[in-house]
């Protein structure tokens, strides 16, 4: 394996144009990570193996998530959703998710502003949580317009109707609430109930970081299997990757950008 890796590195360094190396096409070539055979998406599996444990350890030590919540997040969908955005938007959303985007709190730390108060309500310290949850009527108006754009996007993308209904009820107000609470009493699909409970464990505000339960993706796949003879695959290597988590993350990304730009320009 090491010998093949060295040959491949030499090939990449000396190639004038990059193409996937034929070195990997030998019939006896195989790759294993901790005794698990890897048959596709080698780069994703390698990254996951190298960084996942470190990221999980950091997140748990900083008390952002429990172990179960971390494992339930659809990290692959986050990666695929980010790739649909221009690089400048990817950078901005990374800053938002990590708390380093240009809120009043950050601008004061940079000594660019004299105050850390929200420029809209002028009452609360503005951080990424407050950006979403500001109770000033102007902020609520921006939030509602952004929500409408999000759900128009989900509807046009043929998202499973019960999922849209639960997310619409949960996100209609810009204050944290429970997903499971808004599951209809007549709902008999246990997967929807489990997905809602799992999302509650991940947290309402973390939706805006793109952190959603992977169970939403499986619900969407079941929905597509009833709509299409050949339903779109959930595998990230395909161009039709179209899971609910991916769709919501794409929509939420644009929603946050819209809200931020609206608040800073009015």
State the average pLDDT over residues 143-153: 85
Residue pair 108/116 in contact (Cβ under 8 Å)? The answer is: yes
Q: Is it the case that residue 127 has pLDDT exceeding 90?
A: yes
Mean of per-residue pLDDT scores for the chain: 78
Cα distance between residue 102 and residue 110, in whole Å: 10
Choice between 154 and 133, residue whose per-residue pLDDT is larger: 133
> Are residues 150 and 166 in contact, defined by beta-carbon separation less than 8 angstroms?
no
Per-residue pLDDT tens for 29-62? 667 777 777 766 677 777 777 777 787 888 777 7
Give the number of other Cβ atoms within 10 Å of residue 71's Cβ.
13
Structure confidence at residue 104 as a pLDDT band (50, 70, 90) = very high
Q: Please determine, for residue 140, whether its predicted confidence score (pLDDT) is greater than 60.
A: yes
Closest CA to 218 of 189, 250, 188, 238: 189
- 144, pLDDT greater than 60: yes
What was the pLDDT predicted at 135?
A: 93
For 33, the enclosing helix (H) or strand (E) is strand 31-33
Q: Are 240 and 142 in contact (CB under 8 A)?
A: no
CA–CA gap between residue 101 and residue 95 (Å, rounded): 5
Q: CA torsion 208→210→215→220, rounded to 10°?
A: 100
More confident residue, 47 or 150: 150
**What local confidence, expressed as pLDDT, does residue 101 receive?**
86
Six-digit token pair at 151?
């759900």
**Cα dist from 155 to 12, 152, 179, whole Å:** 43, 5, 19
Q: Which token pair is 117?
A: 């108060």
Per-residue pLDDT tens for 65-79? Answer: 888 999 999 887 777
The whole-angstrom separation of Cα 81 and Cα 41 is 16
Q: Which of 99-108, 135-144, 191-200, 235-244 comes out lowest in average pLDDT?
A: 235-244
Paired tokens of 92: 């901005």
Our measurement of the distance from residue 91's CA atom to the centroid of its chain's CA atoms, rounded to an integer in Å, reads 14
For 182-234, the pLDDT digits (tens) are 998 887 889 999 999 999 999 998 888 888 898 988 888 888 888 777 665 54
Q: What's residue 264's pLDDT? A: 53
20 against 122, higher pLDDT: 122
The pLDDT value given to residue 82: 76
Overall average pLDDT of the 8-29 stretch = 58
Reported as type and span, the H/E element at residue 57 is helix 42-61
- Tell me which residue of 264, 255, 265, 263 sits closest to 89, measured CA to CA: 255
């Amino acid at each position: 394996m090491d010998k093949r890796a060295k040959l491949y590195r030499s090939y990449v360094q000396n190639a004038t144009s990059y193409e996937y190396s034929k070195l990997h096409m030998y019939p006896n070539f195989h790759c294993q990570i901790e005794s698990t055979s890897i048959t596709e998406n080698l780069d994703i599996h390698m990254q996951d193996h190298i960084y996942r444990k470190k990221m999980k350890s950091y997140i748990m030590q900083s008390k952002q998530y429990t172990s179960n919540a971390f494992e339930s997040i659809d990290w692959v969908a986050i990666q695929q959703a980010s790739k649909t955005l221009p690089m400048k938007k990817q950078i901005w959303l990374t800053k938002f998710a990590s708390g380093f985007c240009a809120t009043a709190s950050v601008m004061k730390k940079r000594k660019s502003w004299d105050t850390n108060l929200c420029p809209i309500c002028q009452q609360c310290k503005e951080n990424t949580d407050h950006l979403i949850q500001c109770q000033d009527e102007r902020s609520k108006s921006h939030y509602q317009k952004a929500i409408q754009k999000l759900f128009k996007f989900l509807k046009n993308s043929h998202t499973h109707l019960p999922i849209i209904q639960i997310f619409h009820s949960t996100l209609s107000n810009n204050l944290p609430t429970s997903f499971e609470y808004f599951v209809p009493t007549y709902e008999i699909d246990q997967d929807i109930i489990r997905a809602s409970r799992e999302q509650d464990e991940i947290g309402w505000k973390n939706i805006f970081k793109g952190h959603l339960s992977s169970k939403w993706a499986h619900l969407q796949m079941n929905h597509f299997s009833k709509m299409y003879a050949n339903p779109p695959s959930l595998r990230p290597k395909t161009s039709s990757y179209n899971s609910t988590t991916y769709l919501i993350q794409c929509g939420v990304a644009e929603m946050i950008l819209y809200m931020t730009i609206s608040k800073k320009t009015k």
